Amino acid sequence: MRRIVLAAAIFVTACRGDAQKCEQACRNVYTLTYWQKANAEIEQLPPEQRKLARQKKLSDFTNRLETGIDTCTTQCQSANNDGQIDCMIAAKTAEEAIACAK
């Protein structure tokens, strides 16, 4: 019985993606997509309101990222798709990041 449990634990661990790479991918995609939208909203404001708006968006970004990063990382690990993960890490624009995630 112990051998079966040990074998199952090894199998489950072996079938999961790299947690560090998944977290990096999740952070990159969220950062790119969040700031694309936020910057567009900030640019619509009068110049004197932009600094405060950017500070508020930064606070919102940090809270949302930290709230959702564990879920994203877990889902990424479960998917175990190295090509997609590498693409998400390498993305430099929101469009590239979204294309990787599809």
**pLDDT at residue 12 tops 60:** no
Mean predicted confidence (pLDDT) in 87-96: 96
- Sketch the domain layout of the chain as residue ranges: 2-101
| 97: pLDDT strictly greater than 70 | yes
Q: What is the mean pLDDT of the chain?
A: 87
Concatenated DSSP letters for 39-67? HHHHHTS-HHHHHHHHHHHHHHHHHHHHH
Residue type, 21: K
* Mean pLDDT in residue range 74-82: 93
Lowest mean pLDDT among 10-24, 56-70, 80-94: 10-24
What's the whole-model pTM score?
Answer: 0.80
Model pLDDT, residue 10: 38
